Chain A
Amino acid sequence: MLLIKNGTIVTMGEAGILENSDLLIDDGKIKAIGSGLSEEGAEILDAKGLIVFPGLVDAHSHIGGFDLDTNADDLNELSQPVTAEMDAWYGIDPASKAFEYACRDGITTSCIAPGSGNVICGTACVIKSAGTSLESRTVQRPAALKAAMGVNPKGVYGPRNATPMSRLGVAQIFLDYFHQVQDYQKKKAAAQDDPEKMPPYDQGLENGLLVLEKKIPLKVHCYQHDMMSMLRIAKQFDFRVTLDHALGASDFYDEIAESGAAVIYGPLGAPLFGGEGCKIDIDSLIELDRRGVLCAIMTDGPVLIPSMILTQAGEVVRAGGDPHRVWRMLTINPATILGCQDRIGSLEVGKDADIVLFDGWPAVDTAAKAVMTLIDGQIVFTKK
């Protein structure tokens, strides 16, 4: 048992911020939060002067799958534009150094998705940054079906003189795929569990079925007007989407708010090119959040180093965002978007003891750094 004493606990739950308070961890879970806690035999960790924060959740990442140390690129199966049967889980190297770097900057959980070179890319999963095995580190699998619009799939298949080489082709692939899934769904329903009449098992269509049944969202790489195309397709087939990257969201406040889609924004840190990536409007998260849209901030790891999740959140604060709302975009919001809010995203009794101790207010003080990170109650990083 571990007792964190005398910290400023930012619960991100109903309890709000608790000054000079304690948090008791037992068997990897949060057992109690309050002031003046004591527990016989518990190891004491003095957090005086520190901010006790929920472990950060990166809702869109590729760490462990794209790896610079090993040159691994195991998340883009660019052999055909629809690879819905792929599972990012098999592309992840749990020993990748990238997870260690994530722990160092307080990211305890990441949604790791296939890359965006294909239109329908495969399923994403939610993985903790440390633990004994990939199995034990898996929080949710599948968490979403990843898809991509715009330049990325065009840029892969266009030069091969293959579909899609334009946005016409990209949209058509979405329509064709979901029509196939619908057809598969009908055949399965008609078979009424009679194995003789069942259509042949198809993992790619099964994954689409999870989307049509609203068990998981379609996680869509999209920018600017592609977001509107996607919302229209999502409405037609009646499924949930998350709008990932979402640069240009400030043009579509009404539409996004009305759709119920979540927004996972980022990464910044690129020049303003022409085309889909040029409208950098992370300040749009302030208005989207005000309108009830679930917003999160991504590193797109390893595109940005892990600490940039806080730096980008700082940019929302710079644009006038209330830090209390912005912190949600790093914790409980991504946890909720990923369907893991029962386990992670806030410091509440019964939840996983995924905790970061900061030496300043994250996304407010530029110097704020993680000094200690815990995952499932285990210390996985301590600043020297």
Chain B
Amino acid sequence: MICIKNGKVHDGKGKVAIMDILIQDGKITRLKSDLDVAEAEIIDASGLEVFPGFIDPVSDWGILGPGREIRGNANDNDEKSDQCTPEMDVIWAVNGRAMERQQLAAWGITAVGVAPSNNNVFGGKMAAYQIVGKNPMKMILKEKIGMKASVTEEVTKTYGSRNLAPMTKMGVFSMMRNKLREAAEEKTENKDVAPDFKREALHEMLQTKMPLFVSCNTPTEIRKTLHALKEFDLPLVFINGFGVDGSLTELLEHKTALVLGNHTEGMNRFNRTTDYKGIYALMQQGLTVSFCASGRGFGGREDLLWNALEMYKVIGQEETILSMLTLQAARILGIEEMTGSIEEGKRADLVLWSANPITSYHGAVVRTLVAGETVYKKGDAMRCFL
């Protein structure tokens, strides 16, 4: 048993109070002020801010490295031998060591979603992970949390350059709709025909209403995707969403959520026009929104918080920003019963900060716990050296 005492607890749902947190078997069992637990190991959090662990919902963490020197690395989530690979599953690509090496805990991240790349129309299945462990199979929080898709220029560049479809947006949406139509049809069993695993994967997605995570660089791509997929009635999560503003109310009409991509990189001609005030207005009408560190395959561990700060600068609302980094990301990944807020019954995925990192750069991680285990303490070696 562990008791985190006297910390200023931000629960991720908007409540802030000095509380004690009792942890047993990796879970939060009591949340109360002035808990009296004689037999528990005490962690004194006086003067510290206790946050739920941040969640990076769409990422390459665990894919990169142990790498080569020239950038590019393993690219094990990038099976661009075929435009449609919905049958594939990212769990075969994640490497626990590679995840650990990124030292996400030092930036307050305790869980991540890992996704196939943006290069295929259908990339494959995503999974949610805790950030520590050697055996990636044991790090999985939840499998099949979503199907990754992409309608961006990354697809048309990848296949167009080989003189293959899709080399245009027309080609992308045509392929996407055709594959889904084929998959929607019920097929009679025919033992003489080999099973079509691609079709079956999409069929399963449609049957189980698995969320489709669609990488979109622009509001136009989002609108076209909504139009193209209307008849399939799938929950949709848009990734990147550069340039989204308050006029995109279509997002509210459908079962959608938004994971904002990396707005700190300058080598991106899409990310300058994003209207955070407009997005906040959509959130107030019920849209679920979170951040991710990369979204286009290139971001650092610090980028998740940095992206949140870009929005904070515009809208303020630190508890809302915290909720986007935690509970809303958990909701998008379908793991909100497990983690994403500080509540009794949830995993003890907690971060003790020296000051609130959303309002001050003086905020540094003092301790990070994943399922009640301390995985990082201030002063631990943070530098990767291979």
Listed in ascending order, the chain A residues whose CB lies under 8 Å from chain B are: 68-69, 98, 101, 151, 154-155, 250, 268-276, 278-281, 299, 301-308, 311, 314-315, 317-320, 363-367, 369
Q: Given that A151-B70, A274-B65 are known contacts, is A302 also in contact with B362, CB under 8 Å in the complex?
A: no
With contacts A272-B101, A280-B383 taken as known, whether A101 is within 8 angstroms of B272 at the C-beta atoms is yes
Q: Which residues of B contact A302 (CB under 8 A)?
A: 266-267
CB closest residue in chain A, given B102 = A272
Interface string of B43-74 (1 = CB under 8 A from A): 00000000000000000100011111111010
Looking at the complex, which one of A273, A305, A308, A317 makes contact with B71 (CB distance below 8 Å)? Answer: A273
Residues on B with beta carbons closer than 8 Å to the beta carbon of A318: 357, 361-364
Tell me the complex Cα distance, A68–B265, Å.
12
Q: Of the 9-residue stretches B141-149, B150-158, B305-313, which lies at the interface with chain A?
A: B305-313
User: Is B263 an interface residue when CB atoms closer than 8 A count as contact?
Assistant: yes
Which of A250, A280, A303 is within 8 Å of B384, CB to CB? A280
Q: Which residues of A contact B302 (CB under 8 A)?
A: 268-269, 315
What chain A residues lie within 8 Å of B69 (beta carbons)? 151, 273-276
B313 A366 Cβ-Cβ under 8 A: yes
- Nearest CB in chain A: distance from B253 CB, A: 31
> Once the chains bind, are B267 and A270 in contact (CB under 8 Å)?
no
Cα A311 to Cα B265 with chains together (Å): 12
Residues of B within 8 A of A271 (CB): 60, 64-65, 102, 294, 298-301
CB closest residue in chain A, given B297: A271
B73 and A273 form a contact (CB under 8 A): yes
Residues of B within 8 A of A366 (CB): 309, 312-313, 357-361
Is there a chain A Cβ closer than 8 Å to B194's Cβ? Answer: no
Q: Which of chain A's residues have a CB closer than 8 A to the CB of B101?
A: 272
What CA separation (Å) do A315 and B357 show in the bound complex? 11
Please indicate the chain B residues that have their CB under 8 angstroms from the CB of A369 in the complex: 313
Nearest-neighbor residue (CB-CB) of B384 within chain A: A272
In whole angstroms, how far apart are the Cα atoms of A274 and B72 in the complex? 10
Residues in A whose Cβ lies below 8 Å from that of B364: 318-320
Complex: how many Å from CA A336 to CA B69? Answer: 34
- Neighbouring A residues of B102 by C-beta, 8 Å: 271-272
Query: In the assembly, what is the distance between CA of A246 and CA of B7, in Å?
Result: 38
Binary interface encoding of chain B residues 68-103 relative to chain A, with 1 for a CB under 8 A from any of its CBs, else 0: 111101000000000000000000000000000111
B316 at the interface (CB under 8 A from A): yes
Residues of A within 8 A of B316 (CB): 367
- B interface SS class: loop
Is A304 in contact with B269, judged by CB distance below 8 angstroms?
no
Tell me whether A278 and B362 are in contact (CB under 8 A): no
Q: List A contacts of B71 (CB < 8 A).
A: 151, 273
Taking Cβ atoms with an 8 Å cutoff, the residues of B that contact A are 60, 64-71, 73, 101-103, 263-269, 272, 294, 298-303, 306, 309-310, 312-313, 316, 357-364, 383-386
* B265 contacts across to A, CB distance below 8 A: 269, 303-305
| Closest chain B CB from A78 CB (angstroms) | 16
- The complex places the Cα of A317 from the Cα of B298 at a distance, in Å, of 25
Contact (Cβ within 8 A) A272 B266: no
**Contacts A311-B306, A369-B313 given: A268-B300 contact, CB under 8 Å?**
yes
Whether A281 touches B360, Cβ cut-off 8 Å, given contacts A269-B300, A366-B312, is no
Give Cα A304 to B303, complex, Å.
11
Q: Which of A69, A151, A154, A317 interacts with B362 by CB under 8 Å?
A: A317
Q: Is the CB of B264 within 8 A of A304?
A: yes
| Cα(A364)–Cα(B273), bound, Å | 26
In order of increasing CB-CB distance, the 9 nearest A-B pairs are: A275-B69, A314-B361, A302-B266, A274-B67, A272-B384, A68-B269, A317-B361, A274-B386, A269-B300
**Complex: how many Å from CA A280 to CA B382?**
9
Docked Cα-Cα span, A273 to B65, in Å, equals 6
**Best-surrounded residue of A154, A275, A307, A366 (most CB of chain B within 10 A):** A366
A366 to B384 Cα, complex, angstroms: 26
17 A-B pairs whose Cβ atoms sit less than 8 Å apart in the complex = A151-B71, A271-B64, A272-B101, A273-B65, A274-B65, A274-B69, A274-B73, A275-B69, A301-B266, A304-B264, A305-B264, A305-B265, A307-B310, A317-B362, A366-B312, A366-B313, A369-B313
User: Which A residues are in CB contact (< 8 Å) with B299?
Assistant: 269-271
> Shortest beta-carbon distance, A279 to chain B, in Å?
5
On whether the beta carbons of A311 and B266 are closer than 8 Å, the reply is no
Complex CA distance for A68 and B309, rounded to whole angstroms: 24
- Name which of A154, A268, A279, A367 has the most chain B CB atoms within 10 A of its CB: A367
B258 to chain A, nearest CB (A): 20
Closest chain A CB from B336 CB (angstroms): 26
Q: Complex formed: what's the CA distance from A275 to B102 in Å? A: 14
**A272-B309 contact in complex given A68-B269, A280-B384, A315-B361, C-beta closer than 8 Å:** no
Which residue of chain A is the closest to B294 with respect to CB atoms? A271
Q: Quick check: B300 and A280 within 8 Å, CB to CB?
A: yes
Give the residue among B69, B103, B269 with the most A Cβ atoms within 10 A: B69
Q: Are A365 and B359 in contact (CB under 8 A)?
A: yes
- Do B313 and A273 touch across chains, with their CB atoms under 8 A apart? no
- In the complex, A364→B361 CA distance in Å? 5
Give the most central of B268, B306, B357: most A CB within 10 Å.
B306
Residue of A nearest to B272 (CB): A101
Residues of A within 8 A of B70 (CB): 151, 154-155, 275
Could you say which of A155, A272, A279, A307 has the most chain B C-beta atoms within 10 Å of its C-beta? A272
Would B65 and A311 count as touching, CB distance under 8 A?
A: no
